[in-house]
A and B are shown apart, each in its own frame.
Chain A
Amino acid sequence: MSNLVLLERRVDEHEEVPESLVDIYRAHHAHVRAFAQRLLGCPAQAEDLVHDVFVALPRALTKFRGESSLRTFLIAVAVRHAQQHIRAVSRRRAAERRLALEPQPSSGTPDATFEQGELGQILSMALDELPVDQRVAFVLCEVEERTSVEVAEMLGESDGTIRGRVFHAKKKLRTILERRGGKQP
């Protein structure tokens, strides 16, 4: 009997949830955290999202049919809880930019002058300018390299919808990167 099936039964019986929850946390928290950090670009906010996902998990598992892996299911739960965190982190970064607390990436300089990791930081901040759906689709498909079919199943959308979101996200991001980082020679 799989750990998950046992957990589901325990959830039904309102027993043993903590231990099973801890087991699942230990097995999958790193993947959920990686997704959360890529999506939000802020470790503290990402940790809050991880916490929300695992606290909500016992209830969420009642809807789990085992059609996807538990890890995929956890990412889907994270996506459902991500919206408020995205808003919070975007607001905070916008405020920091206004107050010039966050260092602005260099602008108008050739890409060759970007320091190691700076492009990733620029992209992370550029994600703030995308609608949530496009942001999620871009991170899942492009950063985490999932197929559009897998993401479509995860989010309960059609493959075409996901492809469209990624297409529009990339288009906007190119424009933003161009504005902030200049063009490659």
Chain B
Amino acid sequence: MTTDLLSMATRELRARPIDSDRALLTLAKLRPARQPRARRLVALVIPIAATLVALGAWAGAAHERHRASLESTHTEERVVAHKKTLAPPLYTAPIVQTPKVVVVVAAATTEPPRGITTSAPDPDALHRRAFAAYRDHDDEGAIAAWDKYLETNPMGRFVPEARWGRAAALVRLGRNAEAREALVPFARGDLGAYRRDEAKALLERL
């Protein structure tokens, strides 16, 4: 009967092997196709920012060179003028050496008086203090210390550890929204493979 033929054909269609050779290719195509907006924005902004910074540095250096050459010319003119007006060579030397004296005075004024500590806290000590606080379950203190560390040492060598420790302390405190915000860059791989899997696992649980 034809009904049986249709049933047989349906069974055969159901049993046909599924070609999944291209599955990985599709997966590879999916990855770049859905970049997060933040990452796309960063990719756009970073080159522009780098260019601006480089231009600023170049302009600053050029300005400094120009100013230095002007000052030098001006000083030479003044020296020559003095030489012309004040014949005795005794007066020329102090005029020429004036900038050096100014530099020395300026350097002296920036030096702190003895007995008063005004230097920034040692970054490594800050990180150690934060870590010790975290170990002692003083999560608030740890967060404060790591915040201080990250604020004063944005390019410090313990930045990834500090950011991770801060995120972990936030999780322990149950400040989930802040914790998620802190964990997302790790899970996203912004810091490479460092703590990426742990961050993902934590995000799953939050």
Contact = CB atoms under 8 A, between A and B. Distances in A.
Given A17-B36, A33-B18, A143-B10, A174 B2 contact: yes
Given A14-B38, A17-B34, A170 B9 contact: no
Could you tell me the dominant secondary structure of chain B's interface residues?
A: helix
Contacts of A95: none
A93 to B, nearest CB: 15
Contacts of B106: none
Q: How large is the interface on A (under 10, 10 to 19, 20 to 34, 35 or more residues)?
A: 35 or more
Contacts of B3: 174
Contacts, number: 127
B36 A6 contact: no
Contacts of B19: 33, 37, 43, 46-47
Contacts of B36: 14-18
B199 to A, nearest CB: 10
A34 B13 CA distance: 11
A51 B20 CA distance: 12
Contacts of A124: 13, 16
A73 interface: no
Nearest to A182: B5
Interface of B: 1-6, 8-16, 18-20, 22-23, 25-27, 29-31, 33-38, 184, 187-188, 200, 203-206
Given A22-B31, A111-B5, A183-B2, 18 more contacts: A1-B205, A14-B37, A15-B36, A16-B203, A19-B188, A29-B23, A33-B19, A33-B20, A37-B16, A38-B14, A47-B25, A51-B30, A118-B12, A120-B9, A142-B10, A145-B14, A173-B6, A178-B2
